[in-house]
Amino acid sequence: MNWNKIIKNGIKAVAFLLIFALLFQAATFVLCSKWTIGNQETYVTESFYELEDDSVDVLVLGSSQVLYCVSTVELYDYAGISASCLGGASTSLLSNYYWLLEAEKNQNPSVVMLDVSSLFEQFKEQQERKQIRGMKPSLHWLRFIQAMVSLDVTEESYLSYLFPIIKFHTRWSSLEALDFGDGLDSSVCFRGYHVSNYCQQKVSYDTLILDNDDPEADVRELYDYQLEYFEKIVAYCQENDIELLLFKTPKSSWTLSDCNQVQELADEYGLTYLDFNWEDQIVAVGLDITTDFQDIDHLNTRGADKFAHTLADYLTANYDLPDRREDETFDLHVDREVYDTERNDSYLRSANDPVEWLTLLKEHTACDIFLSTYGDTAGLVSDELAALLADLGLETDLNELPEGNGFVAWLTNDGTSVEEKTDSKYIRIEGTLDNGVSYQVVSRNQSSRKQSKQLIGGEDQSINTAGLNITLYDEATGTVIETVAIDLETGEMTCVLPSD
């Protein structure tokens, strides 16, 4: 027997298998979808695994509501509570259960908060796949896959979860830079919390609160597979001496019937249930429907900060939680520079008061400000607004513009300004920014043809209404941040975000 030959062939076989495994893993990474927008599920799970062991005292489970509504950073800043959120859009309690098991491997939370939306969620394979894809291979992971495949509501094979390249191999023709890892950055997720830069001003207060609902109307079914895993979560928490708190974030599509069914479950299992959709709770939190919601079912960052204070007050009053701010060795594991920037941007985009908006704009990351007038401004600009505009770099006193004059300005991101005024009824400045994008700012003050425009890259961004029309532009990202119009006579402000 030629042992040298056998050993050489063995080494070649091992090397081949190793190379094949590495290439297979790399191909899987590239071809699989990256869920980095919306709820950012890719970042939620990645950032959770980056936390230090035993650094989570409150684990928050649920669907997208927890990722937008429970500000883990504000819970810490306000009360020293170390919390982390796990979940994703429309995820089931099946996912919540297996992520609870996974979290317990490295964390030791004394409180688990469960948002009860999932009890009424229909199974959505795509959303559950995101949760499986985010979990590291383990016994929990294998059982998670098996549990999901065993449900009759999915037609996907076990192997497609075990080897996701089976599902995503056809994506090769639509790959982007992000698929190769370019731009992936889990620091944009803050212990599962996602900063929202949007503001929905069409939330109906009467629809939001439960007080107006008919308990017999729109009764939704509690799904058996959700109840099964609800019971598993309850049992696991009881067996491991974990306090389980049921709660419901503010959500317009949540009904009194939903609330009553959850309350019956809570009573059956001896659990506390907090529902923040009652009017007295909305008032206690201090939510403003014109500034604090990103859509009808989710808070934005301004609202989440208020909500965090109410949650923190309840948690500290009812549970023995350490104040982690007193521990000098504790690491929240949050990129503060990124968080502070995103939080400030969110407050800016949700402001509906000109004074607050201009004040926040001063603190904004560097951006270009394009401004033009619509109609006369003399005597209409308050001292407060004038001072704030001057702080931003505007040199012209708009109160001193003669009647009929048009005015345009570009306040550059490096602190300089280009300003033009005219008595010829029409004025325009134009050029090209450092990133190669063209700009044009127009003001026309003819009585029958008043106009105020800001064009970025040839696209008209302006609201074009009476007063000051302003567009904010970020050269680094090549995106319009926000467009506003300030009515100088009424003090009202109209805002348009890119998504609008």
Distance of CA 439 to the CA centre of its chain: 30
Report d(CA 220, CA 293) in Å as an integer: 24
Quick check: helix, strand or coil at residue 310? helix
**Whole-number pLDDT of residue 202:** 79
Q: Report which residue type is found at 352.
A: N
In Å, how far are 71, 106, 119, 308, 326 from 329, measured between CA atoms? 22, 18, 39, 24, 9
Report d(CA 306, CA 74) in Å as an integer: 9
Greater confidence (121 vs 152) lies with: 121
Grade residue 496 by pLDDT with cuts at 50, 70 and 90. confident
**Whole-number pLDDT of residue 499:** 60
H helix runs in 209-353, sequence order: 224-239, 256-269, 279-285, 301-318, 336-350
pLDDT of residue 50 exceeding 80, the answer is yes
Q: Residue 59, CB half-sphere, CA atoms under 13 Å: how many?
A: 28
For residue 195 the two structure tokens come to 């900063």
CA-based nearest residue to 500, from 89, 298, 198: 198
Greater confidence (246 vs 46) lies with: 246
Phi, psi of 183 (to 5 degrees): 105, -10
Contacts of 16 (CB under 8 A, 6+ apart): none
Report d(CA 400, CA 415) in Å as an integer: 23
* Residue range 447-472: mean pLDDT, rounded: 89
Greater confidence (176 vs 130) lies with: 130
Grade residue 414 by pLDDT with cuts at 50, 70 and 90. confident
What residues pair up with 59 in beta bridges, in sequence order?
84, 112
pLDDT of residue 36 exceeding 50, the answer is no
Report d(CA 397, CA 378) in Å as an integer: 9
Quick check: helix, strand or coil at residue 405? coil
Contacts of 345 (CB under 8 A, 6+ apart): 195, 197, 364, 365, 481
**Whole-number pLDDT of residue 31:** 47
pLDDT of residue 236 exceeding 80, the answer is yes
Are the CB atoms for 48 and 103 separated by under 8 Å? yes
**Whole-number pLDDT of residue 357:** 93
pLDDT of residue 157 exceeding 70, the answer is no
* Residue range 402-413: mean pLDDT, rounded: 89
Residue in the block written with tokens 């939620």 = 44
In Å, how far are 47, 88, 346, 392 from 421, measured between CA atoms? 51, 51, 33, 18
**Whole-number pLDDT of residue 44:** 86
In which element (H, E) is residue 500 found? Answer: none
**Whole-number pLDDT of residue 198:** 80
**Whole-number pLDDT of residue 433:** 92
Give the DSSP letter of residue 223: P
Lowest mean pLDDT across 50-59, 162-171, 254-263, 395-404: 162-171
- The DSSP code sequence of 293-305 is EEETTEE-HHHHH
Angle 369-374-376 from CA coordinates, rounded to 5°:
115
What residues pair up with 496 in beta bridges, in sequence order?
483
CA-based nearest residue to 407, from 426, 388, 430: 426
Lowest mean pLDDT across 140-149, 236-245, 305-314: 140-149
- Lateral strand order in the sheet of 243-248: 83-87, 58-62, 111-115, 243-248, 272-275
- pLDDT tens digits, 90-123: 788 999 999 999 999 999 999 999 999 989 887 7
Residue in the block written with tokens 């999915």 = 154
**Whole-number pLDDT of residue 10:** 67
- pLDDT tens digits, 323-348: 999 999 999 999 998 899 889 888 99
- The DSSP code sequence of 427-475 is EEEEEE-TTS-EEEEEEE--TTS-EEEEEETTEE-----SEEEEEEEET
Grade residue 161 by pLDDT with cuts at 50, 70 and 90. low
pLDDT of residue 149 exceeding 90, the answer is no
Lowest mean pLDDT across 168-172, 239-243, 452-456: 168-172
Grade residue 403 by pLDDT with cuts at 50, 70 and 90. confident
Phi, psi of 336 (to 5 degrees): -65, -35
- C-alpha gyration radius of the chain: 27
Grade residue 413 by pLDDT with cuts at 50, 70 and 90. confident
CA-based nearest residue to 407, from 377, 364, 439: 377
Grade residue 356 by pLDDT with cuts at 50, 70 and 90. very high
Lowest mean pLDDT across 32-36, 95-99, 283-287, 437-441: 32-36
Q: Structure pTM?
A: 0.85
Are the CB atoms for 120 and 95 separated by under 8 Å? no
pLDDT of residue 237 exceeding 90, the answer is yes
Q: What percent of the chain has pLDDT over 70?
A: 84
Buried b (16+ CB within 10 A) or exposed e, 414-427: eeeeeebbbeeeeb
Give the DSSP letter of residue 371: E
Contacts of 86 (CB under 8 A, 6+ apart): 44, 45, 48, 59, 60, 61, 66, 96, 99, 103, 192
CA-based nearest residue to 233, from 246, 250, 252, 220: 246
Angle 334-196-85 from CA coordinates, rounded to 5°:
50
Strand 111-115 to 243-248 pairing: parallel
Grade residue 12 by pLDDT with cuts at 50, 70 and 90. low
- pLDDT tens digits, 276-330: 999 999 999 999 998 999 999 999 999 999 999 999 999 999 999 999 999 999 9
In this structure, the chain runs to a length of 500
Greater confidence (473 vs 174) lies with: 473
Report d(CA 36, CA 263) in Å as an integer: 35
Contacts of 166 (CB under 8 A, 6+ apart): 157, 159, 160
